[in-house]
Amino acid sequence: MKNMTKTKWNFKLFYKNDKDNQIDLDFKNFEQAVISFEKKYKETDTYLSDSKKLFSACQDYEKLFAMPESGKPLHYFLLRRDVDSNNKFVIAKVNEFTEKTNKLINKLIFFKLSLGKINRDTQDIFLKDESLQKFHYFLKKVFDGAKHELSEAEEKVINLLDTPAHSMWVDGLSKTLNNQEIRFKNKNISINEAFGLTTESNTKDRRNLAKLISEKLVSISDFSEAEINAIVSNKKINDELRGYDKPYSETVKRYENEEKTIECLVDVVTKNFKISQRFYKIKAKLLKEKRLEYIDRSAKIGEFKKEFSFDEAIKIISSSFSKFDSKYSDIFSRYLGKGQIDVYPNKGKRGGAYCWGTYGLPTVVLLNHTNNFNSVVTLGHEMGHAFHTELSQKQTPVYADYTISVAETASTLFENFVFEEIFEKLSEKEKILALHNKIDNSIKSIFRQIACFNFEKELHQEIRRVGYLPKEDIARLMNKHMKSYLGPVFDFKDEDGYSFVYWSHIRRFFYVYSYAFGALISDVLYSEYKKDKNFKDKIEHFLSAGGSKSPEDIFMDIGIDVRDPSFFEKGLKIIEENIKRLERLVG
């Protein structure tokens, strides 16, 4: 396998090179298809009352997004940028195709708006019409969302205003934050580097870094105060115009969940913060500290001495996937052989890891493999995303993308397979370290994110109530909700609350619940598989469902009722059992 492995993306899967004539030809083909669709349907309404014509219109709409050309030029240059951010030609092309693609997408806004104007009785007829069955879920989403939509002209205005009312504020803060430096050990380092060092450093250095970081965050908090109030107030205006009652309603609908399900998730996790608090008592013991400070929550308790080369990672991943089902190890081998995984860090390459894919184009995985334990688990995590993306394309194009609320389910599931493959081969000390890290990730994904959801909810409610919230009050709110899940072993300072300045997730309003939703479902799926290996067929059903139904209904199809409050309790008990397992190892 080593000789077959490619460790850089093979961009020839998309185009010959950056100046391939096919790039412009592809965009022109998509542009012509959009213009033809607009011309065919914008000035007529016959498809709004005739099921046969509606079926044809939906098919034509779907064909636009089934065209590989629809996003191929833009996505090609976005991927090229992520491995070569200093390439000015590539960056210029990203900007060019982003602008051109957005203009084309705007030409299609009219279609869903027109569908949304169909009267309720006719909607009900269409949703029962067998000849339209293929598009029932698509139409149901459009019809359900219609009551929150405005006129085409108003929608275009809101889309245009999003940049100065939200994006420019957030980007401005991000640039301000990225330009901050602190002086640590007689050396100037960026604030982002300082954040990274906090997890690696000893207690004394970590807490000194935290003090310096907090001082810097406080120094730019006037800007962040204005930014937070501006974007939350803008959301309030949009929600009022669209008729959303609760601050999180729009996000939940966009992620295709039911509000009762997510409110239940938040309620159950919040009532069980004692589980995360129990973990941090063990963490304090492992760090040999009686009391912890806010910055200690992510502190490492040790390092793996063993290194994992990428070749070793391949063996581990292939073995764990084969034990589950050979089709997944086969897909993994194909990715390695075709150059769909970019493996090593390089100058100009984006940090972190991700998986990207869309209908009709190759799915790709970006890594920054550094021969440590976490790099192996990350590879398993990203391949989980890849399998989900790959199998979802079995669906018709209009359903080939899964919603964000289940995005972390497949990735965390396959991460579990990889973790267990390695765990039993570790020494006792390494098992403590590995299990601590696994639980730590679960706490961050579930309890921390729900605490953040609760913070966001109160933040939005308060700004809506009083009109403007000073930075000191925002910081107090942040400390209040972080204390709730971290527990009594932590001591907080007023400055800790200024973490709102850098926490980017709160600018993607209520996005954080998706981490908890996906992770808890993943743990239950893994638990069911361990009890019955035939459950793998139901897992494949989920992975292949794409966006063909709501998350609630997709999981109901495989016997998982996420509408039942006891379901989330079941997921939390799995984490609690892991904590007990860690307690036994620690002694």
For residue range 220-258, list pLDDT tens digits in order: 999 999 999 999 999 999 999 999 999 999 999 999 999
Helix (H, G, I), strand (E, B) or coil at 396: coil
- CA torsion through residues 78, 83, 88, 89, sign: negative
Helix (H, G, I), strand (E, B) or coil at 553: helix
Q: Which amino acid is at 391?
A: L
Report CA 300 to chain centroid distance, whole Å. 24
The rounded distance, in Å, linking the Cα atoms of 457 and 537 is: 38
Rg for the chain, CA atoms, rounded: 25
Report CA 299 to chain centroid distance, whole Å. 23
For residue range 460-511, list pLDDT tens digits in order: 999 999 999 999 999 999 999 999 999 999 999 999 999 999 999 999 999 9
Query: CB of 292 within 8 A of CB of 490?
Result: yes
pLDDT score of 425 = 85
Other CB atoms within a 10 A radius of the CB of residue 566 amount to 9
Helix (H, G, I), strand (E, B) or coil at 87: coil
The rounded distance, in Å, linking the Cα atoms of 444 and 436 is: 12
Percent of the chain, pLDDT > 90?
83
Please list, in sequence order, all residues whose beta carbon lies within 8 angstroms of the beta carbon of residue 125, skipping any fewer than 6 positions away: 51
Can you name the residues that pair with 509 across neighbouring β-strands?
none
Apex 404 CA angle, 77 and 240, nearest 5? 105
> Mean pLDDT score of the chain, rounded to an integer?
94
Burial class (CB in 10 A: 0-12, 13-18, 19+), 308: buried
| Span of 27-41, 161-175, 505-519 with lowest mean pLDDT | 161-175
Burial class (CB in 10 A: 0-12, 13-18, 19+), 505: middle
Q: For 467, phi and psi rounded to 5 degrees?
A: 95, -35
Q: Which amino acid is at 546?
A: G
pLDDT score of 169 = 93
Q: For 143, phi and psi rounded to 5 degrees?
A: -65, -40
The rounded distance, in Å, linking the Cα atoms of 483 and 161 is: 36
Residue with tokens 């999981």: 555
Domain positions in the chain: 2-148, 310-430+513-566
pLDDT score of 200 = 83
Report CA 430 to chain centroid distance, whole Å. 29
Query: CB of 337 within 8 A of CB of 4?
Result: yes
Apex 168 CA angle, 166 and 171, nearest 5? 105
> In the chain, what are the helix, strand and coil shares in percent, each to the nearest 5?
70, 5, 25
Domain 2-148 CATH class label: mainly alpha
The rounded distance, in Å, linking the Cα atoms of 413 and 92 is: 38
CA dihedral 404, 410, 412, 414 (to 10 degrees): -160
| Span of 152-166, 299-313, 541-555 with lowest mean pLDDT | 152-166
Q: Quick one: tokens of 285?
A: 């013991």
- CATH topology for 310-430+513-566 is Neurolysin; domain 3 (1.10.1370)
| Span of 26-40, 415-429, 459-473 with lowest mean pLDDT | 415-429
Q: Quick one: tokens of 267?
A: 């309620």
Burial class (CB in 10 A: 0-12, 13-18, 19+), 121: exposed
For residue range 266-304, list pLDDT tens digits in order: 999 999 999 999 999 999 999 999 999 999 999 999 888
Q: Quick one: tokens of 515?
A: 């981490």
Evaluate if residue 544 carries a pLDDT over 60. yes
Better pLDDT: 167 or 79: 79
Query: CB of 234 within 8 A of CB of 159?
Result: no
pLDDT score of 414 = 96
Evaluate if residue 33 carries a pLDDT over 70. yes
Residue by residue, DSSP assigns 435-466 as: HHHHHHHHHIIIIIHHHHHHHHHHHHHHHHHH
Evaluate if residue 1 carries a pLDDT over 50. no
Q: Are strands 292-293 and 490-491 parallel, antiparallel or unpaired?
A: parallel
Apex 279 CA angle, 206 and 561, nearest 5? 125
DSSP strands (E only) in 170-282: 181-183, 188-190
> Which H or E run contains 292?
strand 292-293
Q: Determine the length of the chain.
A: 587
Q: Considering the entire predicted model, what is its pTM?
A: 0.90
Q: Quick one: tokens of 97?
A: 């195709």
Q: Are strands 181-183 and 188-190 parallel, antiparallel or unpaired?
A: antiparallel
**Could you tell me how many helices (H) and strands (E) the chain has, helices first?**
26, 7
For residue range 383-410, list pLDDT tens digits in order: 999 999 999 999 999 999 999 999 999 9
Evaluate if residue 3 carries a pLDDT over 70. no
The rounded distance, in Å, linking the Cα atoms of 167 and 292 is: 36
- CA torsion through residues 16, 18, 19, 22, sign: positive
Q: Are strands 341-342 and 292-293 parallel, antiparallel or unpaired?
A: unpaired
Residue with tokens 């093979």: 10
Phi-psi region of 549 (alpha: psi -120 to 50; beta: other; left: phi over 0): beta
Residue 174: band (very low, low, confident or very high) from pLDDT cuts 50, 70, 90: confident
Other CB atoms within a 10 A radius of the CB of residue 386 amount to 25
